Amino acid sequence: MSEKIVLKGKRVVGGVAEGEALVTSEYISGWGGLEPSTGKIIDLRHELAGKSIAGKVLVFQGAKGSSGWSGAFHQARTNGFAPTAMIFNEMSTKIALGSVVTRCPAMTGLDEDPTKVIETGDWVRVDADNGLVEIIKNYQGGKEMLKKLLAFLMIIALMLSFVACSSGGDNDSNKGSSDEKPVKWVMTTIYTDPTGGDITYKSLGAAMEYFINRVNEKSEGRLTIEGFYGGVLGSANDTFQQMERNETQIYYGQPMSTINKAFGVWSIPFLFTDYEKIVEVACDPDGEFFQLSSSLFDPHNAILLANGVGNIRGLLNSKQQVGPIEDVRNLKIRTYEDEIVNSFWTNICNATPMGIGDVYTALQTNAVDGLEFSVDSIITRKYHEISKYYSDINWQWANGACFVVNRQAYENLPEDLQQIVSECAWEAANFQTEHSISDYNKALTILESEYGVSIHNLTDEERQTWIDYADSVADDMRQAVGAELYDNMKRLANK
């Protein structure tokens, strides 16, 4: 008699599927471990060597090997040899992306070790949407029953086909819509998932959620987008490159100069110093600034759909109030890897490049004294708990609300869906703009009134010391991004 077991876990990729389990307690390699043209495990040292993952519910420990892991599984799917679903113990960027590009339901974090509960040959139903895995043990006669069921369904299908052919061809006008298969896309960002909570200070993540919901709604299910937040599929650079390769379809965030030096042009100091000017110049789909920005994506097989306002970066530190530029001379300031950023900060303070995940501890231990950052993110990352001095130097525009789509994926859509995607991107960009400006003003008030942070609004004279310094290092920045591009962006920003 069959025994049914139900486990609970976390969704990695949504969907529902079922099939016969293929189980290993070992890790699985991508390139060198899986043959994409057959779906077979080709690592001769592996306990599943020679077995095919095709059509199976693959249960395993996790991924090992190079970052090409996802590429092997993507190729297996393209060739028709992907698993029906995947269940694994150890989450990683490699396996998260592999699950996405394989486009099958995937789960992790089960309440029991699936490699011990599930055995090869068990029948497993994976309901990733609801976080459930159902296992039928001792599945007697399962394969024979399945064969009979499939044969029965084939007979029914043939009968329906015959009836359809006999009824004539009076509905040709509906043929396009009935034959069209729903399109599924994946969208990625490093921003926080806003789902189910207050979106205050989360305008970037909330705008992505807004975009996804609008596309799903307006396309009436013809195009559905699944969003991955919080860098679960990798860093900003990782996810941008995934979009380039069409492993994912939409990148949302700030394209970094470490991908293309030209992307550093948006980081030019004092390109914009207030939100009103950004909205007027950078967020106009018909404006020259947006058109020039769009052209920078041509070498990356990508299209810039829309641009939100992003945010403006000030200066937070734990030592003293900062007014004129001389006030930062002896401070250790956390910066991020970018040639423009390095050119600006290296000569005026002890600039310390550092990953954002290390900043809170660095502030606690005085490894750094402060950082240049957006005011709303200071609250979400709780830096105000340690550092009590904020200055609105507004030195840089962070162009972090770019909706970028893979060109091939976009051009493969019917024209009406292309229009829906474009319209929804601008709707979401405007949503982000509205909430970002509101968050900025609200954050300044709360930092001072509730968290005891001293807010210093620079005088015109103090701000001019910063602008004069930026002008003095302009030649380095022109060289970093290209003189012609630099000059054109400055000209358009100052129109």
- At 189-223, the pLDDT tens digits run 999 888 766 778 889 999 999 999 999 999 999 99
Query: Who's near 489: CB < 8 A, 6+ residues apart?
Result: 265, 266, 268, 271, 289, 292
Rounded Cα gap, residues 320 and 338, in angstroms: 26
pLDDT tens-digit series, residues 277-291: 999 999 999 999 999
Mean pLDDT over 455-479 rounds to: 95
Mean pLDDT over 380-388 rounds to: 94
Instruction: Please give the pLDDT value at position 488.
Output: 96
Instruction: Please give the pLDDT value at position 167.
Output: 40
% of the chain exceeding 70 in pLDDT: 90
Instruction: Please give the pLDDT value at position 172.
Output: 41
Mean pLDDT over 95-123 rounds to: 90
pLDDT tens-digit series, residues 145-176: 554 555 555 555 545 544 444 344 444 433 33
Higher-scoring residue by pLDDT: 148, 67:
67
Instruction: Please report the sign of the dihedral spanned by the C-alpha atoms of residue 198, residue 202, residue 206, residue 207.
Output: positive
Q: Quick one: tokens of 425? A: 């991107």
Q: Which domains does the chain have, with CATH numbers?
A: 3-137 (3.50.30.10), 183-495 (3.40.190.170)
- Closest CA relative to residue 416, chosen from 223, 172, 208: 223
pLDDT tens-digit series, residues 248-297: 999 999 999 999 999 999 999 999 989 999 999 999 999 999 999 999 99
Q: Specify whether the CB–CB gap between 386 and 360 falls below 8 A.
A: yes
- The pTM is what? 0.73
% of the chain exceeding 90 in pLDDT: 69
> Any idea which residues carry the catalytic annotation?
66
370, pLDDT greater than 50: yes
